[in-house]
Amino acid sequence: MNTHYPFKLEPLKFDYSELEPCISKRTLEFHHDKHLLGYTNNLNKALENTPELQELSLKYILSNLKKVPENIRTAVTNNGGGVFNHIFYFEALTKAETKEIPEKLKLKLEENFESVDKFLEKFKNTALSHFGSGWAWLVLDKDNSLKIVSTSNQETPLKDDLKPLLTIDVWEHAYYLDYQNLRGSYIDNFIKIINWDVVANRL
């Protein structure tokens, strides 16, 4: 991830058609090349006259939003979160059903949710029940416990001192071309393309 200003749109680590049929090439082209590019450009614009923030990592900025000047705080929250969240989302995707859950992550999920299936059920229910645009997350808290949380719009768990491990985008632009209003079907297919190695490495 390009972590400092000026931010640039980085290419995906997989071909646009590689996630089909779970996520179409057309959706990825719009999602990455249009939406993420827009957040990237707007974040750079928000920071262009604030040199004291330009040397800081995006993760640090989003973890310390109270230190961001009030006149650009909303723009940084929305566009900085849009950049961080989308890159984080795309990084943990891979070809359909090609990854097993590494043992250390599997044991951690079982410790906190009783089983992987119960974790996936709770994760899906959180994503499905989130009202409006936002994200569902698997995070690690300060007590080294796994939790599932959701954030609205482009907010991140970083502001609550939580370490994100996995996220699903439930903004309509992430799935509407493929699934229309069937968010549950999108979530089921998203689960098939999670790169569990990436999630485990984040742990």
Q: How confident is the model at residue 100 (pLDDT cuts 50, 70, 90)?
A: confident
- Output the average pLDDT for the chain: 95
Q: What is the DSSP letter of 138?
A: E
Query: What is the pLDDT at residue 98?
Result: 63
Q: 3-state class of 134 per DSSP? A: strand
d(CA 21, CA 27): 11
Q: Is the pLDDT of residue 182 over 90?
A: yes
Query: What is the pLDDT at residue 99?
Result: 73
Q: Looking at residues 1-13, what average pLDDT do you find? A: 88
Q: Looking at residues 144-152, what average pLDDT do you find? A: 98
Q: Is the pLDDT of residue 97 over 80?
A: no
Q: Looking at residues 42-49, what average pLDDT do you find? A: 96
CA distances from 61 to 3, 14, 40, 87 (A): 10, 28, 15, 16
Percent of the chain residues past pLDDT 90, beyond the cut:
95
Q: What is the DSSP letter of 56?
A: S
The domains located in the chain, with CATH, are: 25-91 (1.10.287.990), 103-202 (3.55.40.20)
Query: What is the pLDDT at residue 2?
Result: 67
Query: What is the pLDDT at residue 198?
Result: 95
Q: What is the DSSP letter of 101?
A: P
Q: Is the pLDDT of residue 1 over 80?
A: no
Contact 42, 96 (CB under 8 A): no
d(CA 79, CA 34): 13
114: Cβ contacts below 8 Å, ≥ 6 apart: none
d(CA 127, CA 42): 27
